[in-house]
Structure 1
Amino acid sequence: MARQISLQQYLVSMYWDYQNISDPKIAKDLLLFASSLGFIANRKVYSNWCEGSKAKSVLASLDFDCIHVSQKFTNAVDFKLVMDCGCDSSDIVILISGDSYCEILIDSLHLKGKKVIIFAHEKSAKISLKHLADMFYFVDDLPKLVENKTQFKTTSLDAKINYNEAIECLTKAITTTLSQGKRTEFGYIDKLMRQHCVSYQGFSSIHTPDGKKFKSFGQFVDAAVRDCKVQKQGHKLFLMELDKLAA
């Protein structure tokens, strides 16, 4: 079950690649957006900060944690952000970046049951992120989003799907993946389910008849295996009959 605080608020974390989106003017709107979703647990912004940086001072005055990353190797900021984000315990993660490394990071966060929101530059964003994230916006959208707070209330993040519907979604995702000749690994199947089943927003959105919730995507798969709905071999999934041969 998602960890929450008083008033059933979600915990929200922001990870900002400042070298990718270097505009301190968006900071206040980002905070307003994040606070509309829940309690802001982390607000980290990464760069190779110059001494006396005005941008750093502005962000620090808004309680952003300005993480200095020296450029000892290529993509040092990216690696540091990914490492920190991988240890995050929030329910919702906001990534302010449009770089390709976000693809792998989104998959990892989804497998942990987290919702992922991306803010990126329209001209430089990797478009595939739009289809991977739970929500995707361009930074130019921020002022309008803040003006219309009801547009992004947490109701859009509270999708529910019953167990049988989730099983149907799972089998369709496996069928599609096999027909494309791709590997039916947990991460890819989970991503495909999110793309093609509107009500499915990760294993935490599945509601079982007994009211219990799954603690991981793997636990959901194990239940489907016990119910003879699918088969698994390691972290690969298959349907019950013909697809056994494809394994």
Structure 2
Amino acid sequence: MTLVSVYCDFQNVPSLQKFANLLLSFAHTQGHLLDKKVYYNSQCQNQSQAKEPLSSLGFDCRDVPCPLKNSADYKLIADCIKDIQSNRSPDIIILVSGDGDFCSLVYILQKLGKKVIIFAQLGNVKQKLKELVQDDFYFVDQLPKLVQVKTNPQTTAVQAQLIYEEAIDCLRNAIQTALNQGQRTSLSKIGKLMRDNPHFPKCSKFPLVCKSDGTTFSKLSKFVNAAIAEGIVYAKKTGKEQELFLSERNRLLV
């Protein structure tokens, strides 16, 4: 049985909170999950606020309230080395950080025959750390696609994918474009305009839209219904069909 442990540097990857559930799903696809630890500094308000939601997912949140630079990193490294010397040493270490301070740790783990998988935040990663793991390096934003690929490879092999937030942006822009051009904003028209967005996959079918909590939408109508439920857009019947409009607060985002 392959044993897996997760170590997260929250200060380096604050978007972890958004993708935490998917990170756990990914870890479970790698083997039996032993530990899932998050290191944070309670003296920083943005970090202390993340403790409760992460704890509710079963993360072992370890507070390192020290003003010294890299103190949380050193605690993570010390705990990881201690864990791999225990009777239940993990075979796979998932490190959530792009900090170059962990290069030596990764090198040691690899020398001991451990597989290291790294998740970093876009724009916050040291190239040397990335090069150490090569094909086992990812950005946390890729988790929706990675989890779907791991759990349903046959579906994703034939269906393009799009992260929910990107799909929402495409939807907003399509509605605003139609209104600016004096066109109807029916579902079919908006679907065609969404496909013109450079961020929208070039595919024959509507792409699989993935939320950070693992929810997916395989049809345009279901995706739009979710956007309506969240108050991002609303539908109004004009003539024989319904048309889509941006809510007041979302008109400001286009």
Match for 2:91: what amino acid? Answer: D
SS in 1 for 2:20: helix
Q: Which runs of 5+ in 1 are unaligned?
A: 1-8, 153-247
1:121 and 2:114 correspond: no
SS in 2 for 1:81: helix
Root mean square deviation, CA, Å: 2.0
Shift of 1:151: 9.0
Match for 1:111: what amino acid? Answer: K
Deviations 1:74-112 (A, max 9, x none): 210111011111122200000000000121011111122
Shift of 1:150: 5.9
Distance 2:12 2:147 in 1: 22
Shift of 1:130: 2.1
1:33 and 2:26 correspond: yes
Is the alpha carbon distance of 1:72 and 1:123 closer, same or farther for their aligned partners in structure 2, counting shifts above 3 Å?
closer
SS in 2 for 1:93: strand
Residue 145 of structure 1 corresponds to which residue in structure 2?
Answer: 146
Residue 58 of structure 1 corresponds to which residue in structure 2?
Answer: 53
Shift of 1:49: 2.2
Residue 110 of structure 1 corresponds to which residue in structure 2?
Answer: 110
Distance 2:112 2:119 in 1: 21
Distance 1:12 1:132 in 2: 19
1:17 and 2:9 correspond: yes
Residue 137 of structure 2 corresponds to which residue in structure 1?
Answer: 136
Q: Which runs of 5+ in 2 are unaligned?
A: 84-88, 154-254
- Once superposed, which parts of structure 1, at least 4 consecutive aligned residues long, lie more than 3 Å away? 50-54
Distance 1:46 1:126 in 2: 19
* Contact map agreement 1:47 1:69 (CA 8 A) in 2: yes
Larger radius of gyration: 2
SS in 2 for 1:25: helix
SS in 1 for 2:2: strand
SS in 2 for 1:70: coil
Shift of 1:57: 0.6
Shift of 1:72: 3.9
Match for 2:96: what amino acid? Answer: I
Deviations 1:135-172 (A, max 9, x none): 100111111101110699xxxxxxxxxxxxxxxxxxxx
Written as runs of structure 1 = structure 2, the 5 A alignment for 1:198-217 is: none
TM-score (norm 1): 0.55
Written as runs of structure 1 = structure 2, the 5 A alignment for 1:58-97 is: 58-88=53-83, 89-97=89-97
The answer to which of 42-51 and 106-115 deviates more is 42-51
Distance 1:107 1:151 in 2: 33
* Contact map agreement 1:145 1:151 (CA 8 A) in 2: no
Distance 1:109 1:151 in 2: 30
* Contact map agreement 2:40 2:48 (CA 8 A) in 1: no
Aligned residues: 144
Deviations 1:35-68 (A, max 9, x none): 0000110100001125894421111011100000
Match for 1:47: what amino acid? Answer: Y
* Contact map agreement 2:11 2:40 (CA 8 A) in 1: yes
Shift of 1:122: 2.1
TM-score (norm 2): 0.53
